């Protein structure tokens, strides 16, 4: 990861492939990481992909069906707070599936 500042004094992070999380004192959380093209982020239990000006909501179940699964799971394990957010999302997904039966 590279850290810089711009002319406005804003912090600029580059090459952030293992993820960064921000959490408010109220526990509101957003996690973000870079991809080869674009970003992936999680906000309040929902996962999103942002690439080339488009933002799409992603389904947690699709993560297991990609070649990136190992990398994503490593991020979950190694980013503080992100595993808790993932577990919360997974529990919610399982409850929704049970309600539909």
Closest C-alpha among 60, 61, 58, 75 to residue 20: 75
Q: Which of 43-47, 84-88, 93-97 has the least mean pLDDT?
A: 93-97
**Tens digits of per-residue pLDDT, 35-77?**
888 898 888 778 888 888 888 888 655 544 555 666 666 666 6
Rounded CA separation 40/56 (Å): 10
Closest C-alpha among 19, 13, 80, 16 to residue 47: 19
Question: Buried (b) or exposed (e) across 65-90, using 16+ Cβ within 10 A?
Answer: eeeeeeebeebbeebeebeebbeebe
Model confidence band, residue 79 (pLDDT cutoffs 50, 70, 90)? confident
Tell me the domain boundaries of the chain: 2-95
Q: Which two tokens stand for residue 26?
A: 């109220």
**What pTM value is reported for the model?**
0.50
Rounded CA separation 52/69 (Å): 22
């Amino acid at each position: 990861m590279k850290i810089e500042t711009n002319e406005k004094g804003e912090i600029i992070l580059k090459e952030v492939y293992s993820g960064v999380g921000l959490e408010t004192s109220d526990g509101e959380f957003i996690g973000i990481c870079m991809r080869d093209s674009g970003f992936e982020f999680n906000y309040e239990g929902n996962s999103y992909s942002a690439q080339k000006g488009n933002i799409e909501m992603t389904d947690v179940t699709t993560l297991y069906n990609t070649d990136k699964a190992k990398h994503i799971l490593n991020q979950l394990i190694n980013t503080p707070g992100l595993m808790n957010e993932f577990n919360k999302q997974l529990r919610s997904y399982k409850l929704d599936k049970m309600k539909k039966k």
